[in-house]
Amino acid sequence: MTNQGSIGETIAQMPIRFGTDGWRGRMAEDYTFANVRRCAQGFANWLTDEGHTANAVVVGHDKRFQGEHFAAAVAEVLAGNGFRVLLVDDAAPTPVISFAAVDNNAVGAVNITASHNPPEDNGFKVRDASGGAVPPEGLAEIEARIPGTEGVCRTPLDAALASGAVRYIQPQAAYLARLNELIDVARIRDAGLKIVVDSMWGNGAGWLSEILAGGKTDVIEVHAQRNPIFPEMARPEPIPPNVDAGLAVARSVEADCICILDGDADRCGFGDENGQFVDQLRVYGLLAYYLLDVRGERGPIVKTLSTTSMLDKLCAAYDVPIVETGVGFKYVAPAMLEHNALIGGEESGGYAFRGHVPERDGILSNLYLLDLMVRTGKRPTELLQLLFERVGEHYYDRIDIRLTGEEMKAAAQLELENVDIGGCTLGGLAVTERITVDGYKFLMEDGGWLLVRFSGTEPLIRIYTETTRKESVAAILADGRKLVGL
């Protein structure tokens, strides 16, 4: 075992701040091998302080630049701190890595991924023994235990492999076996669908093709190679315009639908039989309808405050509880475990399910949507009409505004704090209530809402709205910009 401070690495002892799932930075600027090792040491310190010593930890990575080498660096540090490291042998979807933690009785996992973010970024995502996100208080404790470079201990990978402190694992088979327990894959395989899959150059490439191979259903993959610069998209986030090229392919081959996976395959995007994108709030409504009505299951539904009010109406119709949390799976995952929730999800297209791990799973989400199509015999546009018959039509959109500095953020916060909701209207709709649990959410007279919040991972103000009036969406968002003085 060697001490990192003795090998001549020098780097400013910059503070590392954890966001929703861990830490994300710009590669070669602040996301360096030295800082990744510091994060790994902080995680090791936290696990040790929690009473976990000589336990197993899963380490995985995505297909971004140097991902496998950053994962090896993490493995070296964890091994140097006495943990048994299960190093995933190839790039794997985030839900596969999370499930591997549970399947191998590990005390946690580290995933080297920046998920849906720009190609210049990479991340250090942490999971606990449940396979789910570490709660906010745990993230704060990990962050507080991150040392300077001189406090990092590691065992070189070759030595760790030779001693057995690190060993490679292949988690695919166990994960696929769990999917087959959750869903009748053969029914989809034999349905004769034509499906386009856009894996956005990421970890989801090949998974749905393998799962659905050997039957009548035809799977056409796009953006399925490793390409860390993510051509044809600004980032591997499963929303327009990043998905436009894949949607065009779906239209050209007259596919029944398009299934979309983000860069680490934990988020789900979806397109209909006309090659039109189905927004992620409507997808959440379809998934909840599928579980409650088609499968006849019951249980609480967890949603972040930035996602659809259609869930409240479905919960009322099927007499199940609704649990609302702050934005991020660091809130959703603990709530799912606490309430034994049927499903949990957020506005960004991440959905998790009971019987699995409390982790976003884009692969399972897409399979459930396909199963909904097969079991009802309906196309996506028809399914949306069926959903709207239950809850009414809902329309959603979001705009992101880049912050230029702390002064701009402070000014926007001051504007929001000073909003007088008495007489306030958004898109011509009266505001009835303001909620400040996570950002500033304004409820409107039609049952819709506008949310303004500051991203926890990027210098952005996000403004979201959902309304029952299609013609009001643009005006509501425009008024939302005015609320923050922009």
- In this prediction, residue 9 carries a pLDDT of 45
Domain boundary among 139, 171, 203: 171
- In this prediction, residue 462 carries a pLDDT of 94
- In this prediction, residue 11 carries a pLDDT of 52
Q: E strands, 4-107, where?
A: 22-26, 56-61, 84-88
- In this prediction, residue 310 carries a pLDDT of 97
Whether 41 and 126 map to the same domain: the answer is yes
Which range (19-28, 107-116, 125-134, 355-364) has the least confidence? 19-28
The sign of the dihedral angle between the CA atoms of 352, 60, 106, 18 is negative
The mean per-residue pLDDT over the stretch 339-349 comes to 96
Whether 320 and 206 map to the same domain: the answer is yes
- In this prediction, residue 54 carries a pLDDT of 87
DSSP 181: H
- In this prediction, residue 268 carries a pLDDT of 97
Burial class (CB in 10 A: 0-12, 13-18, 19+), 13: middle
Q: What percent of the chain has pLDDT over 90?
A: 91
Q: Report pTM.
A: 0.94
Cβ–Cβ < 8 Å for 429, 445: yes
Q: How confident is the model at residue 5 (pLDDT cuts 50, 70, 90)?
A: very low
Q: Residue 8 pLDDT more than 80?
A: no
Q: What is the pLDDT of residues 432-458, one digit of tens each?
A: 999 998 899 999 999 999 999 998 777
Q: What is the pLDDT of residues 274-314, one digit of tens each?
A: 999 999 999 999 999 999 999 999 999 999 999 999 999 99
Q: Residue 47 pLDDT more than 50?
A: yes
Task: Examine residue 176 and state whether it is found in any structural domain, yes or no.
Answer: no
- In this prediction, residue 224 carries a pLDDT of 97
Domain that holds residue 166: 2-171
Q: What is the CATH number of the domain that holds 315?
A: 3.40.120.10
Instruction: Please state the domain count of the chain.
Output: 3
Q: Is the peptide bond before 380 cis (omega within 30 degrees of 0)?
A: no
Task: Examine residue 250 and state whether it is found in any structural domain, yes or no.
Answer: yes
Q: What is the pLDDT of residues 306-331, one digit of tens each?
A: 999 999 999 999 999 999 999 889 99
Which residues make beta-bridge pairs with 322? 301
* 144 vs 146: CA distance, rounded Å: 6
Which residues make beta-bridge pairs with 59? 87, 110
Task: Examine residue 235 and state whether it is found in any structural domain, yes or no.
Answer: yes
* 286 vs 298: CA distance, rounded Å: 15
Q: Residue 400 pLDDT more than 50?
A: yes
